[in-house]
Amino acid sequence: MPTVSVKRDLLFHALGRTYTDEEFDELCFEFGLELDEITSEKDIISREQGDTKAEGASDVILYKIDVPANRYDLLCLEGLVRGLQVFKQKMEAPRYRRVSPVSSEPQRLVITEETTAVRPHAVAAVLRNITFTQERYDSFIELQEKLHQNVCRKRTLVAIGTHDLDTISGPFTYTAKPPGDIRFKPLNQAKEYTAQELMSLYKTDSHLRHYLHIIEDKPVYPVIYDSNGIVLSMPPIINGDHSKISLNTKNVFIECTATDLTKAKIVLDMMVTMFFQATELAYRKETLSADFINRKVGISESTEHIAQLLTKMCLRSEVMSDGEQIEVEIPPTRSDVIHACDIMEDAAMAYGFNNIPRTTPRTYTVANQLPLNKLSELLRQDLAAAGFTEALTFALCSQEDIADKLLKNISETRACHISNPKTAEFQVARTTLLSGLLKTVAANRKMPLPLRLFEISDVVLKDETKDVGARNNRRLCAVYYNKSPGFEVIHGLMDRVMQLLEVKPGQGNGYHIQAADDSTFFPGRCAEIFARGKSIGRLGVLHPDVINRFELTMPCSALDIDIEPFM
């Protein structure tokens, strides 16, 4: 959830009243926002860098508000205020109209073919007769940053450039050129640089270096020129200094270059509608019936009332002539509305989720347990009754955990490997529960002996017959850790499990064990378990090397079986 930081007093001033913190929290709750934190610049610096650094920082109260990820129209103070005012029916949703410039033709942005190699799309708009106060200016810059971080996916999908229209002249050209051929004075620099020089210059810039990779290795870099050859910007990196916006700027040229055209349009709409009521953009219309809303939500409101509810959410609605249908107008600020169910949700929000009567559906169903889970639940209870304690261990682990530490080769394990682990602890999905249990024992070495642990859970194995190429396997694993290995204890546990599974000892239809060689176990102290003719697992005394590698000191015996054959 993106967080917007607004000055509380400015917010209240724009909303036309003050709220207590609780009242505002309540308002946020109804609207689907969350007042995450009440702080000040001073508090923030104090927390991050210590009290001395915070001296002299601003005490002005800031509200940090969490905003739903798909509401780009709520990412700045102006947007929030607008949303809340319309919600509280304090104002009508603004109408956005496009106007033609008084004295001339509309501006043109020409896109050339070269851009397809690197950043193919661009859209642009002009805003006239703006007045910037310091607050508005800051808000304007911050909205660009917010949009860059969120919907623009850190400038990879879309990059926004804003320019003082009076310092440049159209028509504008968006093209792409080899880096050596681009030369201009970038924002806040004293001299001109080529694009290559800028790439090295910004490598150490804490903010811009994260965006260099987007175009760095391309044969051509995007660049926007005006009719006099002045560079407006080199997206997505930096604007030119020449056309920079100041508090005196009256007319703004906004360009959005992108790899995703739909997103570019959404972003441009946001930039334009947030501050200025002076452009027309596409309004969409949907028609639906009051009945649809009533049925889906579970309320029964009149058509007129529903139209009112939707209007509260900036979706201006009117009852149509048949008295049943409602025509809903979706403004450009609501790019999150893409289906009738979105409209239905807004109606429900305006009604108030907590006002909707809670009913029980008449769906009659008989529940069924998944047999594998039913079996696991029964076994768990009985293993605990047998004196063993349940552990819950991670499904992801390092390669060593399932191979080297168990004196096995990783290639024998049929393990599934993770391609992007953040640490070695997430290299593979476990193929055995034994490693997790031994790590649990190691973490509990100080507890009184003997330690008796078990786990009944899934491991992951490669399986070409499955559509994804892997499957889970439900296994039961137990360990006994004490001054003496306790093979007879683990053996006794296994006998008990077989008894619970109603498998009698004996060949044929029963179970039996026979000596086996397994590198994880102490030679001569390992057996394979057969039930109904199939091998289901092993038990034995662990090899001293295994004990060492798991940083344990006492002898240990273990049982590891597959319980899926017993369903």
Partner 1 sequence: FSPAQETLLQRVEKVDGGLDSQDVATSLGVDHQAIVGAVKSLQALGDVISAEQRSSKHWELTGEGCEIAEQGSHEARVVSSIPKEGMPQSQLMKLAFGKVGFSKAMSNKWIRLDKGHEGGPRIFKTVERLEDLVRDKLLLVQKGQASQLEEKEKNELKKRKLLSEVTVKSYWITKGSCFSTTITKQETELTPEMIASGSWKEKKFKPYNFEAMGVAPDCGHLHPLMKVRTQFRQIFLEMGFTEMPTNNFIESSFWNFDSLFQPQQHPARDQHDTFFLSDPAQAHEFPQDYLERVRKVHSEGGFGSQGYKYDWKIEEAQKNILRTHTTAVSARMLYKLAQQEKFTPVKYFSIDRVFRNETLDATHLAEFHQIEGVVADYGLTLGDLMGILHQFFNKLGITKLRFKPAYNPYTEPSMEVFSYHEGTVLNNGFLRCRSELTI
Binders in 10-39 for partner 1, by CB under 8 A = 29, 31-32, 34
Q: Does 157 bind partner 1 (CB under 8 A)?
A: yes
- DSSP assigned state of 215: T
CB of 362 to partner 1, least distance (A): 8
Q: 253 pairs with which residues across the strands?
A: 126, 163
User: Measured on CA atoms in the order 168, 171, 174, 179, is the torsion positive or negative?
Assistant: negative
**Residue 228 CB neighbour total at 10 angstroms:** 8
R_g of the chain computed on alpha carbons: 33
Q: In angstroms, how far is CA 108 from the centroid of its own chain?
A: 38
Between 1 and 247, CB nearer to partner 1: 1
Instruction: In angstroms, give the least distance from the CB of 564 to partner 1.
Output: 9
Q: Is 290 in the site for partner 1 (CB under 8 A)?
A: no
Task: Pick out residues in 438-467 that bind partner 1 (CB under 8 A).
Answer: 452, 454, 458, 460, 462, 466-467
Q: What is the DSSP string of 235-252?
A: TTTEEBSTT---TT---E
153 binds partner 1 (CB under 8 A): yes
Pairwise CA distance, residues 469 & 416, whole Å: 9
The nearest distance, CB 338 to partner 1, in angstroms, is 4
Task: Among 383, 406, 437, 561, indicate the residue that binds partner 1 (CB under 8 A).
Answer: 383
CB 402 within 8 A of CB 395: no
Interface residue with partner 1 among 364, 502, 508, 514 (CB under 8 A) is 364
Q: What is the closest distance, in whole angstroms, from the C-beta atom of residue 279 to partner 1 in the complex?
A: 22
Provide the residue type at 310 as one letter: L
CA distance 397 to 194: 48
Residue 467-486 contact track with partner 1, rule CB under 8 A, x = bound: xxxxxx-x------------
Candidate ranges 54-62, 269-277, 381-389, 539-547; the one touching partner 1 (CB under 8 A): 381-389
Query: x/- site string to partner 1, residues 42 to 71, per CB under 8 A?
Result: --------------------------xxxx
- 562 touches partner 1 (CB under 8 A): no
Residue carrying the six token digits 């390669």: 399
Instruction: Tell me the window of 115-123, 199-207, 210-218, 388-396 that interacts with partner 1 (CB under 8 A).
Output: 388-396
What secondary structure letter does DSSP report for 286?
Answer: E
Please name the residues in contact with 379: beta carbons below 8 A apart, sequence gap of 6 or more.
456, 476, 497, 500, 563
For position 295 contacting partner 1 by CB under 8 A, the verdict is yes
Give the Cα separation of 147 and 278 in Å (integer): 21
- Which range binds partner 1 by CB under 8 A, 55-63, 230-238, 341-349, 502-510? 341-349
The residue within the footprint of partner 1, chosen from 12, 19, 276, 426 (CB under 8 A), is: 426
Residue 25: CB minimum distance to partner 1, A: 9
**From CA 4, how far away is CA 33, in angstroms rounded?**
11
Stretch of 99-107, 159-167, 362-370, 511-519 lying at the interface with partner 1 (CB under 8 A): 362-370
Segment near partner 1 (CB under 8 A), from 47-55, 122-130, 274-282, 350-358?
A: 350-358
With beta carbons less than 8 A apart as the criterion, state whether 112 and 175 touch: yes
Question: By CB under 8 A, what part of segment 304-323 binds partner 1?
Answer: none
Q: By CB under 8 A, is residue 206 in contact with partner 1?
A: no
The torsion region of residue 233 among left (phi > 0), alpha (psi -120 to 50) and beta comes to beta
For partner 1, which residue of 13, 53, 353, 565 counts as binding (CB under 8 A)? 353
Shortest gap between Cβ of 429 and partner 1 (angstroms)? 6
CB < 8 Å & 24+ apart, contacts of 298-302: 298/356, 298/357, 298/359, 299/351, 299/356, 299/357, 301/351
Q: Which of 247, 282, 338, 449 binds partner 1 (CB under 8 A)?
A: 338
Q: Note whether 363 binds partner 1 by CB under 8 A.
A: yes
If we measure between CA atoms, which residue out of 390, 399, 293 comes closest to residue 346?
A: 293
Tell me: does residue 344 bind partner 1 (CB under 8 A): yes
Q: Interface with partner 1 includes 368 (CB under 8 A)? A: yes
> Binding segment for partner 1 among 123-131, 132-140, 233-241, 410-418 (CB under 8 A)?
410-418
Cβ-based nearer residue to partner 1, 196 or 389: 389
Please identify which residue in 185, 209, 380, 496 interacts with partner 1, judged by CB under 8 A: 380
Query: Left (φ > 0), alpha (ψ -120 to 50) or beta: where does 533 sit?
Result: left
Residues 6, 7, 9, 13, CA torsion sign: negative
φ, ψ of residue 542 to 5 degrees: the values are -70, 145
Task: Please identify which residue in 37, 142, 192, 342 interacts with partner 1, judged by CB under 8 A.
Answer: 342
Q: Using DSSP, state whether 46 is helix, strand or coil.
A: helix
Could you tell me the smallest distance in angstroms from the CB atom of residue 371 to partner 1? 9
The yes or no reply on residue 298 touching partner 1 (CB under 8 A) is yes
Q: Minimum CB separation from partner 1 for residue 198, in Å?
A: 27
Pick one of 103, 188, 321, 420: the residue that binds partner 1 (CB under 8 A).
Answer: 420
Q: How far is the CB of 457 from partner 1 (least distance, A)?
A: 9
* Cβ neighbours of residue 304 closer than 8 Å, sequence gap 6 or more: 319
